[in-house]
A and B are shown apart, each in its own frame.
Chain A
Amino acid sequence: MRNGNRRRRRNLGPRPPGLPVCRLCRLRHLLKPPQSRTRPTLILVDEGDGGNEDEAGKSSHQSTLAARPPTTRTHTMLFAARRVLLGRAVSPIGSSGYRGRFLSTLAILEQRGGQLNAGSLSAFTAAKKLGGTVHGFIAGSSVSAAAAQAAKVEGVEQIVTVENEAYEKGLPENYAPLLVENIKKGNYTHVVGGHTAFGKNVLPRVAALLDSQQISDITGVQDDKTFVRPIYAGNAIATIESSDAVKIITIRGTAFAPATAEAGSASVVQGTDPKADSTTEWVSEDLAKSDRPDLATASKVVSGGRGLKSKEDFDKVMLPLADALGAAVGASRAAVDSGYADNSLQVGQTGKVVAPQLYMAVGISGAIQHLAGMKDSKVIAAINKDADAPIFQVADVGLVGDLFEKVPELTEKVKSS
Chain B
Amino acid sequence: MSALRILVPVKRVIDYAVKPRVNKAQTAVETAGVKHSMNPFDELSVEESVRIREKKRAPGGVEDICAISAGPTKAQDILRTAMAMGADRGIHVEVKEGDDLEPLTVAKMLKAAAEQQKSNLVILGKQSIDDDSAQTGQMLAGLLGWSQATQASKVEFGEGDSVTVTKEVDGGVETVRAKLPLVVTTDLRLNEPRYASLPNIMKAKKKKLDKLTLKDFGLENEKRLKVLKVTEPPARQGGGKVEDVDGLVSKLKELGAL
By a beta-carbon cutoff of 8 Å, the part of chain A in contact with chain B is 36, 43-44, 47-52, 63, 66-67, 169, 171-173, 176, 195-198, 200-209, 211-217, 226, 230-244, 279-288, 294, 296, 300, 325, 333, 337, 342-344, 349-350, 352, 357-358, 368-369, 375, 378-381, 383, 387, 392-401, 406, 409-410, 413-414, 417
Contact = CB atoms under 8 A, between A and B. Distances in A.
Nearest to B18: A368
B8 to A, nearest CB: 19
Given A197-B170, A232-B14, A358 B252 contact: yes
A399 B244 contact: yes
B226 interface: yes
B249 A417 contact: yes
Contacts of B72: none
B257 A172 contact: no
A51 B225 contact: no
Given A232-B130, A279-B179, A379-B252, A399 B241 contact: yes
Contacts, number: 277
B201 interface: no
Q: How large is the interface on B (under 10, 10 to 19, 20 to 34, 35 or more residues)?
A: 35 or more
Contacts of B120: none
B25 interface: no
Interface in B81-138: 102-104, 107, 111-112, 126-127, 129-138
A223 to B, nearest CB: 11
Nearest to B187: A350
B229 A239 contact: yes
B217 A51 contact: yes
B129 A206 contact: no
B236 A63 contact: no
24 contacts: A172-B138, A197-B151, A197-B169, A198-B170, A201-B151, A204-B134, A204-B135, A204-B137, A213-B225, A215-B225, A236-B233, A240-B227, A244-B224, A280-B148, A281-B176, A282-B174, A284-B174, A343-B153, A343-B172, A350-B188, A380-B236, A381-B248, A383-B248, A399-B245
Contacts of B29: 231-232, 235-236
B157 to A, nearest CB: 15
Interface stretch (B45-53, B60-68, B139-147): B139-147
B196 interface: no
B231 interface: yes
A406 B238 contact: no
4 pairs of A and B residues whose beta carbons are closest in the complex: A51-B218, A287-B172, A204-B138, A396-B239
Given A211-B104, A216-B135, A241-B228, A285 B172 contact: yes
Contacts of B134: 195, 200, 204, 216-217
Given A201-B138, A213-B224, A349-B132, A395 B239 contact: yes
Given A195-B134, A282-B176, 6 more contacts: A172-B148, A197-B170, A236-B20, A239-B227, A398-B238, A401-B244
Contacts of A398: 238-242
A263 B71 CA distance: 52
Contacts of B238: 392-396, 398
A50 B103 CA distance: 23
Given A200-B150, A282-B174, A52 B227 contact: no
A366 to B, nearest CB: 11
A215 B135 CA distance: 9
Contacts of B228: 226, 239-241
B233 A230 contact: yes
B246 interface: yes
Of the listed residues A205, A237, A288, the one surrounded by the most CB atoms of chain B closer than 10 A to its CB is A205
B236 to A, nearest CB: 4
Contacts of A202: 138
Contacts of A413: 245-246, 249
A333 B188 CA distance: 10
Given A197-B169, A207-B139, A284-B174, A240 B226 contact: yes
B73 interface: no
A213 B245 contact: no
Contacts of B38: none
B234 to A, nearest CB: 9
Contacts of B229: 238-239
Given A235-B19, A238-B230, A409-B245, A52 B215 contact: yes
B189 A343 contact: yes
A48 B240 CA distance: 63
B149 interface: yes
Contacts of A213: 102-104, 224-225
B164 interface: yes
A239 B228 CA distance: 5
A342 B39 CA distance: 24
A261 to B, nearest CB: 21
Contacts of B215: 51-52
Contact of B240 (A232, A244, A397): A397
Interface string B167-193: 111111111111100000001110000
B195 interface: no
